[in-house]
Every structure is written in C-alpha cells, then in structure tokens.
Amino acid sequence: MPTDFYQQLDHTGDCGIEVFARDQETLFANAARAFSDLLIGLEYIKRQLVRNFEVSGDDQESLLVNWLDELLFAFETEGEVYCDYVVESLSSTRISAAAYGEPYRPEHHSYKVAIKAVTFHQLTIAPTDEGWMARIIFDL
C-alpha cells in the first residue's frame, strides 16, 4: 500500500514499513501516521482530542521505538486513536509531540493490522537524497 509518506514491506510473520520525510521531525510524525494507518486507517480517525507526549530514548533508534510504543500503549490503555501528529521538539534522545485523534469505538473503528509491539529488528533511520527514511518492523 504505497502512499506519499510510507510503504508497507513484505515481512514473514510481521509487518514492516519504510517511512519517508524531508526532515527528522516530519519523519517521526510520519512514522506515527503510518502506525495509525496500519492499525486503524487514517481516513477513519477524526481530530476530536489532543494528547501531548514526552518520550525519551538512549539514541535516535530507541527514541523512535519508544515513541511508537507510547502510541500503542495509549491505544491499549486509554482507548485513543490518532490521525495527525505535530512534533514540537526533537533531539537524538527526546521527542515532544501532540497527537490529534479520538476515542476508539469498535463500532466505528476496526483493526486493519493487530500490532502487538514495535521491534528493533532491521530498524533503520538514514538520510536519503530527498531527506530521511526509517524502516520499522512491527510484531503482529
């Protein structure tokens, strides 16, 4: 399912994506958007609430995993799904971002992909000629 900001990768038993952006802030926002699109579908989520996130990691790779883990945790514990993300600040070890979405409603939202965890398997964050790319594998 190619989009303008990510593509899904074939990966045995798991689900992989490659995310693209012009800068690192947009890369982290696009990784979150791709996660939400895989989980529920961006077109089914409305901007009815905002939640602020502060996430840290030991390095850029662990920060990306922790960021997506935090979104998965919010879905599982708070019952919220998000469709839009604004990265307010980003360093190699910390992200501050706002997530816009709505409460999860089983009668309106259905799983596209049941993501269990964000993994470090084949995790890549790299510059490209057009900006940045990240490869992320999700455990299903």
Instruction: Tell me the CATH number at 59.
Output: 3.55.10.10
How do residues 40-91 score in pLDDT, each as one tens digit? Answer: 999 999 999 999 999 999 999 999 999 999 999 999 999 999 999 999 999 9
Residue 1 lies inside a defined structural domain of this protein: no
Residue 92 lies inside a defined structural domain of this protein: yes
> Which pLDDT band, with edges at 50, 70 and 90, does 2 fall under?
very low
Tell the burial category of 44 from Cβ atoms under 10 Å away from its Cβ (0-12, 13-18, 19+). Answer: middle
Half-sphere exposure of 105 (CA within 13 A, CB side): 9
Predicted local confidence at residue 39, as pLDDT: 94
Domain count, the chain: 1
Residue span of the structural domain in which 95 resides: 6-139
Predicted local confidence at residue 3, as pLDDT: 57
> Which pLDDT band, with edges at 50, 70 and 90, does 14 fall under?
confident
